[in-house]
Chain A
Amino acid sequence: MNISKKEYAKLADSYSAPSKLYITIPKAFVSGGIICCIGQFFMDIYTMLGNDTDTASAYTSITLVLISALLTGFGQYERIAKHAGAGTLVPITGFANAVVSPALEFKTEGLVLGTGAKMFVIAGPVIVYGIAAAFVYGLILFVISLFGG
């Protein structure tokens, strides 16, 4: 080979076009914002219907998860996500998509070893490290409280 691995890595990097961040970031910002506005719209409706803030926000989350799951099932979510990027990934809709898509994909391997076992294959790490982070946060809070914080 007429090139060292180090030199090749540099060359490969120079030919590997990165994502166009000046396009993807604004698109993610706007689409994520639209999802938040839709969430706020449902929140206002549920509040108008006489629910307190906690109940209304729970209803809102459920509604967004339902819409996201349906869009995933109809094969539309990934079409939106292709353009929206992190805009559809970060909100709760992305979490719903991450659970529903493997559940559907692996249903051919059966309800237990397919859908059941693979459902959290993408979302699992989010839950694991979400709980771990909450534990660490709780520990810090506890230590601070010992010193009368």
Chain B
Amino acid sequence: MAKYINDGTIELDRGVSVYSCAAAVGRMESDGPLGNCFDYAAEGAELGLTTWEKAESTFQQYAFDIALRKAKLIKEDISFIFAGDLLNQCTGSAYGLRDTDIPFFGLYGACSTMAESLALASLFADMRIGEFFAAVTSSHFCSAERQFRFPINYGGVRPPTAQWTATGAGCCITSAAEKAPFVKRITVGKITDMGIKDANNMGAAMAGAAYDTINRHLINTKTTPQDYDAIYTGDLGQVGTDLLIELFRRDGVQIENIHKDCGLMLYDREKQDVHAGGSGCGCSASVLCGHILPMIAEGKLHRVLFAATGALMSPTIVQQGESIPGISHLVEISDRQEG
């Protein structure tokens, strides 16, 4: 049974497994440095559908279906789904998964949703209330642009600090099973407001939340960054990454060599016009499901922290002059059951 350690950190029982995972991405993501590791790569962003919203939901559906198929499961095996996305009222998930006929928890953690849903799906697996649980999330560049920014064909110029919403979805299926990777601990994020008001600088708005969560996890588990093979953050981009490293440096903690950011891994910033890096739920979800988890399953990584980061804003609130609060949920994943 899961054990509460302190200040948002939970230690899971042995043997909570990420039983299966899958990532489905768009063209730009499959053209990036991690291009070969995704389970499904679309030719275009619209998947031949009439709206961007339908395309996003379909990406989520694909990720879910592929994750099931890889584990030789059928949808009736799944006891609960935890899913969320960036679209208003979380419609990306609701429409993507409406035909599944599986009890559904809709989540909103902005771009931190992959870690949030995986944390909850792992806790349910730990409590053994059901057998298999799915954590699903997605984002789509075009559906996010039209909701948060401007029409795709508008010729406005993005500042260098802006990030590129990834087109893609990820799905993790958790279960109490003896199959690596294992979810060991979880640290739940706190809403952290650093006072940043620029919606084109999400990395800066979220870096404080990432620092807070990772720092609490290290303190609560009495570990240091060197105890991990890697510390992944969700989508801080270049600006947020620099800030996170600086915040730790102020505590005398070096994380440069261990820290990696999914937003910087997904694209080649030299060749792809993504400014400060990738963002969106689909960014950390596709990197986790396509790259990080398979690396752990193959034993190439042993113990990692995955801290997805989200900016809890809406265009309306930002226009009203409010600052942007961030949140970061953390999941510790290992290839071993013990320790």
Question: Interface on A for B, CB 8 Å cutoff?
Answer: 1-3, 5-6, 8-9, 11-12, 15-19, 24, 72-73, 75, 77-78, 80-82, 84-86, 88-89, 94, 97-98, 100-102, 104-106, 108, 122
CA distance A75 to B154 in the complex (A): 9
Q: A3-B250, A15-B243 are in contact. Are A85 and B204 (CB under 8 A)?
A: no
- Report the Cα distance A78→B157, complex, angstroms: 9
A2 engages B251 (CB within 8 Å): yes
Given contacts A12-B204, A12-B239, A16-B204, contact A98 B195 (CB under 8 A): no
Identify the 3 closest CB pairs spanning chains A and B, nearest first.
Answer: A81-B155, A105-B151, A5-B195
Pairs across A and B, CB under 8 Å, 28 listed: A1-B192, A1-B194, A1-B208, A6-B195, A8-B194, A8-B208, A9-B195, A9-B196, A11-B243, A15-B239, A16-B239, A17-B160, A19-B160, A72-B155, A73-B153, A75-B153, A78-B153, A78-B155, A80-B155, A81-B155, A81-B156, A84-B155, A85-B157, A89-B155, A94-B155, A104-B151, A105-B152, A108-B52
Given contacts A1-B194, A105-B154, A122-B151, 17 further A-B contacts (CB under 8 A): A1-B208, A1-B212, A2-B247, A9-B196, A11-B246, A12-B194, A15-B204, A16-B204, A19-B159, A19-B160, A73-B153, A78-B155, A81-B155, A86-B157, A97-B155, A101-B153, A108-B52
For the complex, is B273 an interface residue (Cβ under 8 Å from A)? Answer: yes
Asked if residues A97 and B154 are in contact (CB atoms below 8 Å), the reply is: yes
Contact bitstring B108-130, A, C-beta under 8 A = 1, else 0 = 00000000000000000000000
Contact between A8 and B151, CB atoms less than 8 A apart: no
B242 at the interface (CB under 8 A from A): yes
> Could you tell me the distance in whole angstroms from the C-beta of A143 to the nearest C-beta in chain B?
35
The smallest beta-carbon distance between B283 and chain A, in angstroms, is 20
**Is B70 an interface residue, CB under 8 A from the partner?**
no
Q: Are B151 and A106 in contact (CB under 8 A)?
A: yes
Q: Given that A81-B157, A89-B156 are contacting pairs, would A5 and B51 also be in contact in the complex, using a CB cutoff of 8 Å?
A: no
- Are A78 and B152 in contact, with the CB atoms below 8 A? yes
Which residues of chain A have C-beta atoms less than 8 A from B51's C-beta? 108
* Contact across chains for B151 and A101 when beta carbons are under 8 A apart: yes
CA distance A72 to B151 in the complex (A): 11
Contact-residue bracket for chain B: 20 to 34
Q: Name A's interface SS.
A: helix
Question: In the complex, are the beta carbons of A12 and B196 less than 8 A apart?
Answer: yes
Query: Are A82 and B154 interface neighbours, CB within 8 A?
Result: no
Chain A residues within 8 Å of B201, by CB: 12, 16
| B146 at interface, CB cutoff 8 A | yes
Whether a CB of chain A sits under 8 angstroms from the CB of B167 is no
Q: Looking at the assembled complex, report how far the CB atom of B218 sits from the nearest CB atom of chain A, in whole angstroms.
A: 13
Contact residues in A for B247 (Cβ distance below 8 Å): 2-3
Interfacial chain B residues near A89, Cβ < 8 Å: 155-157
Check A78/B243 contact, CB under 8 A, given A1-B212, A2-B250, A17-B161. Answer: no
Instruction: List residues of chain B with CB within 8 A of the CB of A8.
Output: 194-196, 208, 243
B residues in contact with A11, CB < 8 Å: 243, 246
The complex places the Cα of A72 from the Cα of B207 at a distance, in Å, of 36
- Asked if A16 and B161 sit within 8 Å, CB to CB, the answer is yes
